[in-house]
C-alpha cells in the first residue's frame, strides 16, 4: 500500500484533466472570434449568405458530421475498454477514431478542390464578381473549416501519441488520464463542427 | 490534500451508443427542417439542435456529468462570457 | 555567502545542477530558474525598448526632422510598442515574480506543469525572435503602431507578417503560463491554506491567469485573420470586399483591454505584499481586495469599446461602454483606499521597496483619474489620439507595472540572490527615476489637451516648450534607470549576504533560505494563520 502511495504522490489526475479543460477553453475563445465575425457579417448580408450557402454540398457536410460524431463515440468507448483492461479493443476503437478523422480530411480535400475548380477561393475574381456578401461567406467558410481541419490534424497527432503509449503500457487501466485528455480534445473538435455544419450548410 | 483519483466509475458502451443515436437523430432532424422554409425559425431550430447536441457531447462523451462539479460550472461560465461579448458587439452593429 | 552558508540545511537552487554550464539553465524545469531566465530576457528587451523611446524623445525635442526621417519614427513607435506591450508588461510580473514566488508563497515545490513552464519560456523567446526579424527583412520595419489596425495593416508594404506572427506566438506563451498558474493555485496550496488564507500576490496572479487564458485567444485569431487578409485577401476587414475595419478594432480590443488588467493586477498584488511588510501591519480589507481583484478581472472584459469612441460605433455602444468603463474604475479605487489604510498608523520602515510602492500609488492614481477623462464620451473626442492618451497609459502602465516591477525586484532581491543591494544607490536611483518620470510624462497631458497628436514625428511650433521639458525628463529618467540597474547587477554578484527575512515579512517566502533550496521547503508547511498577521 505504501508503495502505491509513493508512486501516486506526484500524480494529480484531476489537475491534469483541469489543465486540459483550460486548454479547451482557449480553443473555444479562439473560434469565438470567428463566430463573432460570422454573426456580424451574416447579420449584415443575410441574403447573400443564404444564396452562397447553396453552393455547398449538404451531403458531404452531413456525411462528415455523421462520421465525426461516430468517432467521438468510439474514442469515448475506448476509455471504457481500457478501464476493462481490454487493450486490443481500446486500440481498435482508437484506431477507428483516427481513421474516421482521416476520412473527414479526405472529404474536406475533395470539397475544397471542387470549390477551387469553380473559381471559389479567397481573392479570386469569380468570387469578387459574385458580390461582397459571397466574398465574406466563402472567406469565413475557408478560414473556419480550414482552421477546424488543422485542429483535426492536431487531434489525430494527439491520439496517435496516446495510441503509442497504450501499446507501450504507459497508459493503462489505472493510469489513463492522457487518453481522457486526448478524448476531450477530440470531442471539442467535434463540437466545433457541430456548429459549423448548420451555420454553413443548412442556412439555405 | 488528496489528489488521488477515486475513479472507479466506468460508463457502459451502451450509454455512448445511445447518445450517438440521439446525436444522429438530431442531425437528421436539422437537415430535414432546413428543407422546409420556416423563415428565421429554420436557422434557430438548426442552432437549437446544435446546442442540444453540444450539451450531450459535453455531458456524456466529455464526462462532465460524472466529473468534478467545478468543470461543468466553468464550461457554462466561459460560454456565458462568449455570449455576453457577442451581445455587446451587437450593441454596435444593431444600432448603427 | 559564507556567513549564510553554515546556517543552511540544503544547498541553494543555484548549486543543484542537473546539467552543465548553460544547460543547467535552459534545460531546467525549476520554476526559480525559469523565472530568472524570463527576468534576463525581459531586462534585455526592456533596454532595447527604452533606447527606442529615448531616441523618439530626442527626435521630438524640436519640431521638424531632428535625428531621423518620418518613416523611421513610425517604425520606432511601432517596435517600441510591440516590445513594451508584448515582451515586457504583459509577461513581466507573472513570468518573473509569479514563476519565482507563486509556488513558494503557497507552500509548493513547483508549479503544476513544470515542463510546460519551460516550454512557455521557449515560446516566449521564439516569439521575440520572430517579432524582431520584422526589422531586418522584406519591405522594412512595420509602421502601423503596435495595434496593427486594418486596413493599413494589410495595405502597408512594410514587413507585417513577422510582427503579427511574433505577437501570435507570444500569446501562446502567455496562455500556457496562465493555464499553469490556475491549476497550480487550485491544486497545490499547502494543507491549511484555504483560498481566504492565500496571500494577495497569488490572488492577483489567479485573476490575471484567467484573463491570460480567456482573452488572449481572441487576439490570436484576430492576428491570424490579419494574416489571411494580407496573404489571401480574405475580406474580413477590407471595405472593398464587404469587410469592416471596425470589426478588427472590436476583435483586437476584446483582448487588448483585458490585457491591461493582465498588466496591472499582478502589479497591485505586489503592492499588497509590500505595504503590510513595511507598515508591519496586516493589510486593510483583505476580503475587499480579493473581491475587487475578481471584479476587475470580470468587468474588464466588457469595456473594450472605450478605445474606439471615435471609430464610428453606434450611440448605444458608446453609452454602454462609457458606463461600464466608469464602473470598472471603482474596484481599483477600493484597492487604493485599502493600501492607504494599511499604511495609516503603521510602523513604517522607510526602505527602497516602500518608496517604490508609495510612488506607485501616486502615479497610478494620476493614470487612473486621467482614464476617467478618456472614458467620458465628450472629453474623449477632444483628447483621443493626442499626447494626453500617451501620458495616461505611460502613467498607468509604466507607472503601474514599471514601478511595481522595481518595487518587486528590490523587495525580493535578497531572497532571489541571497545578497543585499546598496540602499543608498537604490534610493538615489529611485528618486532620480521618479523625478525624471514625472518630468517626462506630465507635460504630455498639457500637450495633448492643447492638440498635439500622437504617433506624429513632427508638431506645431507652439508645442515646442512642452516637448523640450518632456525630452529632458527622459534623459533624467534613463539616468535613474542606469543607477538602479547598475546597483542591482553589482549587488547580485558581490553584495553582502542577506538573511532569511530581512524585512520582517510574514508570507511563506520569508521562511525559506535566501536563496531558496531546490524544492523550496524541507517539509510541506502547515498553514494555521492568515498571510499578514503581525503580532
- Residue C8: the pLDDT is 76
Q: Using the beta-carbon criterion (under 8 Å), do A80 and B7 form an inter-chain contact?
A: no
Res C137: pLDDT: 84
Q: What is the pLDDT of residue A2?
A: 33
Tens of pLDDT, residues A165-181: 999 999 999 999 999 99
Neighbours of chain C (3+ CB pairs under 8 A): A, B
- pLDDT grade for A203, boundaries at 50, 70 and 90: confident
CB A29 within 8 A of CB B78: yes
pLDDT tens digits for A42-67?
A: 999 989 999 999 999 999 999 999 99
- pLDDT for residue B46: 86
Predicted local distance difference test score (pLDDT) of residue A204 = 74
Rounded Cα distance between C335 and C413, Å, is 25
Contact C189 B81 (CB under 8 A): no
Grid coordinates in use for C114? 513544470
Whether pLDDT at A6 is above 60? no
What chain A holds in terms of domains, given with CATH numbers, is 13-201 (1.20.120.80)
pLDDT tens figures, C416-427? 999 999 999 999
**Chains in contact with A, counting 3 or more C-beta pairs less than 8 Å apart as contact:** B, C
Q: How far apart, in whole angstroms, are the C-alpha atoms of residue C445 and residue C448?
A: 5
CA distance A153 to A105: 8
Give me the interface pTM, i.e. the ipTM: 0.95
Question: Which chains border B (3 or more CB–CB pairs < 8 Å)?
Answer: A, C
Residue C409, all three cell numbers: 525586484
Each residue's pLDDT tens digit, C43-63:
999 999 999 999 999 999 999
Provide, rounded to the nearest whole percent, the portion of chain C with pLDDT above 90: 97
The chain C residues in contact with chain A (CB within 8 A) are 112-113, 175, 179-180, 182-183, 186-188, 213-218, 220-222, 224-225, 228, 232-236, 241-244, 247, 250-251, 254
Reported as a pLDDT band with limits 50, 70 and 90, residue C6 is very low
Interface test with B, best of C317, C321, C325, C327 (most B CBs within 10 A): C317
Question: Taking 60 as the threshold, does the pLDDT of residue C5 lie above it?
Answer: no
CA distance C53 to C45: 12
Q: Do C214 and B89 touch (CB under 8 A)?
A: no
* Mean of pLDDT values over C16-38: 95
Q: Looking at residue B38, what is its pLDDT?
A: 67
Optimal mutation site among A173, A185, A202, interface B, most CBs of chain B within 10 A: A202
In chain B, which among 9-28 make CB contacts under 8 A with chain A? Answer: 10-13, 16-17, 19-20, 23-24, 27
Is the pLDDT at A23 greater than 90? The verdict is yes
pLDDT in tens, C384-393: 999 999 999 9
Q: Does residue C447 register a pLDDT over 80? A: yes
In CATH terms, C2-511 corresponds, of 1.20.120.530, 1.20.210.10, 3.30.530.20, 3.40.50.720, to: 1.20.210.10
Residue found by looking up cell 494574416 in the block? C227
Which residues in chain C are closer than 8 Å to A123, comparing Cβ atoms? 232-234
Query: In which band, very low, low, confident or very high, does the pLDDT at C3 lie, cut at 50, 70 and 90?
Result: very low
- Mean pLDDT on B68-84: 96
Over residues C309-350, the pLDDT tens digits come to: 999 999 999 999 999 999 999 999 999 999 999 999 999 999
> Are C439 and C513 in contact, with CB atoms under 8 Å apart?
no
> Closest Cα of chain B to C298: distance in Å?
9
Q: Reduced to 3 states, what is the DSSP secondary structure of residue A44?
A: helix
Average pLDDT value for residue range C438-464: 97
- Among B84, B85, B92, beta carbon nearest to C314: B92
> In chain B, what are the domain boundaries?
12-62, 68-96
Best probe of the A interface among C173, C235, C524, by most A CBs < 10 A, is C235
Q: What is the mean pLDDT of chain C?
A: 96
Using CA atoms, how far apart are residues C498 and C412, in angstroms rounded to an integer?
A: 11
* Interior angle at CA C416, CA C508 and CA B1, nearest 5: 35
Half-sphere exposure of C67 (CA within 13 A, CB side): 10
Cis-peptide into C151, omega within 30 deg: yes
Query: What's the mean pLDDT in A97-125?
Result: 95
**What cell was used for C416?**
532571489
Write the residue in B13, B82, B94 that is nearest to A29 by C-beta: B82
Cα A162 from Cα A180, distance rounded (Å): 10
Mean pLDDT of chain B: 89
**Which B residues, 32 through 61, put their C-beta within 8 Å of a C-beta on chain A?**
34, 42-43, 46-47, 49-50, 53-54, 57-58, 60-61
The confidence band for B34, taking pLDDT boundaries of 50, 70 and 90, is confident
Residue B35 has a pLDDT of 76
The pLDDT of residue A123: 87
pLDDT of the residue at B7? 54
C150-189 residues touching B, CB cutoff 8 A: 187, 189
- Given a cut of 90, whether residue A130 has pLDDT beyond it is no
What is the pTM (predicted TM-score) of this model?
Answer: 0.95
Q: Give the pLDDT mean for C74-100.
A: 98
Parse chain C into domains and list their residue ranges. 2-511
Chain-centroid distance of CA C341 in Å reads 25
Query: C9 pLDDT band (50/70/90 cuts)?
Result: confident
With cell 516602500, the residue in question is C354
What pLDDT does B37 receive? Answer: 67
Interatomic CA distance for residues B84 and C425, integer angstroms: 51
Query: Which residue in C has a C-alpha nearest to residue A27's C-alpha?
Result: C217
Amino acid at each position: 500500500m505504501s508503495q502505491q502511495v509513493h508512486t501516486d504522490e506526484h500524480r494529480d489526475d484531476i489537475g491534469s484533466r483541469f489543465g486540459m479543460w483550460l486548454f479547451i477553453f482557449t480553443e473555444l475563445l479562439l473560434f469565438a472570434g470567428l463566430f463573432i465575425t460570422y454573426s456580424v457579417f451574416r447579420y449584415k448580408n443575410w441574403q447573400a449568405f443564404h444564396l452562397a450557402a447553396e453552393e455547398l454540398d449538404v451531403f458531404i457536410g452531413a456525411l462528415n458530421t455523421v462520421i465525426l460524431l461516430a468517432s467521438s463515440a468510439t474514442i469515448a468507448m475506448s476509455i471504457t475498454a481500457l478501464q476493462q483492461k481490454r487493450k486490443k479493443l481500446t486500440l481498435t476503437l482508437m484506431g477507428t477514431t483516427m481513421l474516421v478523422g482521416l476520412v473527414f480530411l479526405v472529404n474536406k480535400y475533395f470539397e475544397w478542390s471542387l470549390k477551387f475548380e469553380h473559381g471559389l477561393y479567397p481573392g479570386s475574381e469569380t468570387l469578387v464578381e459574385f458580390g461582397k456578401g459571397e466574398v465574406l461567406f466563402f472567406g469565413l467558410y475557408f478560414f473556419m473549416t480550414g482552421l477546424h481541419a488543422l485542429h483535426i490534424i492536431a487531434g489525430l497527432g494527439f491520439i496517435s501519441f496516446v495510441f503509442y503509449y497504450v501499446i507501450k503500457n504507459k497508459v493503462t487501466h489505472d493510469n489513463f488520464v492522457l487518453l481522457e485528455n486526448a478524448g476531450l480534445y477530440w470531442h471539442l473538435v467535434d463540437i466545433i463542427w457541430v456548429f459549423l455544419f448548420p451555420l454553413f450548410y443548412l442556412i439555405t | 490534500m488528496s489528489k488521488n483519483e477515486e475513479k472507479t466509475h466506468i460508463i457502459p458502451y451502451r450509454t455512448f451508443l445511445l447518445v450517438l443515436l440521439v446525436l444522429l437523430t438530431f442531425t437528421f432532424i436539422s437537415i430535414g427542417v432546413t428543407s422546409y422554409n420556416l423563415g428565421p425559425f429554420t436557422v434557430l431550430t438548426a442552432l437549437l439542435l446544435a446546442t442540444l447536441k453540444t450539451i450531450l457531447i459535453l455531458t456524456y462523451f466529455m464526462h462532465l456529468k460524472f466529473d468534478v462539479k467545478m468543470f461543468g460550472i466553468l464550461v457554462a461560465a466561459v460560454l456565458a462570457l462568449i455570449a455576453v461579448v457577442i451581445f455587446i458587439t451587437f450593441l454596435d452593429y444593431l444600432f448603427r | 555567502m559564507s556567513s549564510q552558508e553554515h546556517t543552511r540545511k540544503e544547498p541553494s537552487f543555484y548549486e543543484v545542477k542537473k546539467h552543465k554550464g548553460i544547460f543547467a539553465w535552459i534545460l531546467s524545469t525549476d520554476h526559480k530558474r525559469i523565472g530568472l531566465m524570463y527576468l534576463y530576457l525581459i531586462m534585455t528587451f526592456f533596454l532595447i525598448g527604452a533606447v527606442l523611446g529615448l531616441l523618439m524623445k530626442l527626435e521630438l525635442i524640436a519640431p521638424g526632422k531632428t535625428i531621423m526621417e518620418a518613416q523611421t519614427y513610425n517604425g520606432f513607435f511601432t517596435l517600441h510598442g510591440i516590445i513594451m506591450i508584448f515582451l515586457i508588461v504583459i509577461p513581466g510580473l507573472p513570468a518573473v515574480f509569479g514563476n519565482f514566488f507563486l509556488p513558494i508563497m503557497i507552500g509548493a515545490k513547483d508549479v503544476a506543469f513544470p515542463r510546460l513552464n519551460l516550454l512557455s519560456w521557449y515560446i516566449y523567446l521564439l516569439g521575440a525572435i520572430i517579432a524582431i526579424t520584422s526589422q531586418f527583412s522584406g519591405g522594412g520595419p512595420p509602421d502601423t503602431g503596435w495595434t496593427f489596425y486594418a486596413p493599413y495593416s494589410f495595405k502597408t508594404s512594410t514587413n507585417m507578417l513577422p510582427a503579427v506572427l511574433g505577437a501570435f506566438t507570444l500569446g501562446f506563451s502567455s496562455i500556457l503560463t496562465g493555464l499553469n498558474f490556475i491549476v497550480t493555485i487550485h491544486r497545490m496550496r499547502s494543507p491549511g491554506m484555504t483560498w481566504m488564507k492565500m496571500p494577495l500576490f497569488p490572488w492577483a496572479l489567479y485573476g490575471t491567469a484567467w484573463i491570460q487564458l480567456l482573452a488572449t485567444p481572441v487576439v490570436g485569431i484576430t492576428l491570424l485573420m490579419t494574416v489571411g487578409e494580407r496573404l489571401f485577401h480574405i475580406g474580413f476587414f477590407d471595405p472593398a470586399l464587404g469587410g469592416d475595419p471596425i470589426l478588427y478594432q472590436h476583435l483586437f480590443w476584446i483582448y487588448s483591454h483585458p490585457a491591461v488588467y493582465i498588466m496591472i493586477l499582478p502589479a497591485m498584488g505586489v503592492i499588497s505584499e509590500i505595504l503590510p511588510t513595511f507598515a508591519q501591519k496586516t493589510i486593510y480589507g483583505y476580503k475587499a481586495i480579493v473581491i475587487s481583484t475578481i471584479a476587475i478581472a470580470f468587468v474588464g472584459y466588457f469595456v473594450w469599446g472605450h478605445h474606439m469612441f471615435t471609430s464610428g460605433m453606434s450611440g448605444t455602444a458608446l453609452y454602454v461602454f462609457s458606463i461600464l468603463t466608469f464602473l470598472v474604475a471603482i474596484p481599483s479605487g477600493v484597492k487604493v483606499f485599502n493600501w492607504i489604510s494599511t499604511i495609516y498608523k503603521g510602523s513604517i520602515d522607510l526602505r527602497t521597496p516602500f518608496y517604490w510602492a508609495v510612488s506607485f500609488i501616486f502615479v497610478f492614481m494620476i493614470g487612473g483619474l486621467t482614464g476617467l477623462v478618456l472614458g467620458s464620451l465628450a472629453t474623449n473626442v477632444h483628447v483621443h489620439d493626442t499626447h494626453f492618451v500617451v501620458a495616461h497609459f505611460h502613467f498607468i502602465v509604466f507607472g503601474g507595472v514599471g514601478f511595481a516591477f522595481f518595487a518587486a525586484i528590490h523587495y525580493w532581491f535578497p531572497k532571489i540572490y541571497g545578497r543585499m543591494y546598496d540602499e543608498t544607490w537604490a534610493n538615489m536611483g529611485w528618486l532620480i527615476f521618479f523625478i525624471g518620470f514625472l518630468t517626462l510624462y506630465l507635460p504630455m497631458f498639457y500637450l495633448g489637451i492643447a492638440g498635439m497628436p500622437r504617433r506624429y514625428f513632427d508638431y506645431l511650433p507652439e508645442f515646442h516648450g512642452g516637448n523640450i521639458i518632456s525630452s529632458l525628463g527622459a534623459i533624467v529618467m534613463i539616468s535613474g534607470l542606469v543607477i538602479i540597474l547598475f546597483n542591482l547587477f553589482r549587488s547580485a554578484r558581490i553584495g553582502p549576504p542577506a538573511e532569511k527575512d530581512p524585512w520582517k515579512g510574514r508570507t511563506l517566502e520569508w521562511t525559506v533560505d535566501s536563496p531558496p533550496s531546490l524544492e523550496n521547503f524541507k517539509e510541506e508547511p502547515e498553514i494555521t494563520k492568515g498571510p499578514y498577521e503581525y503580532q
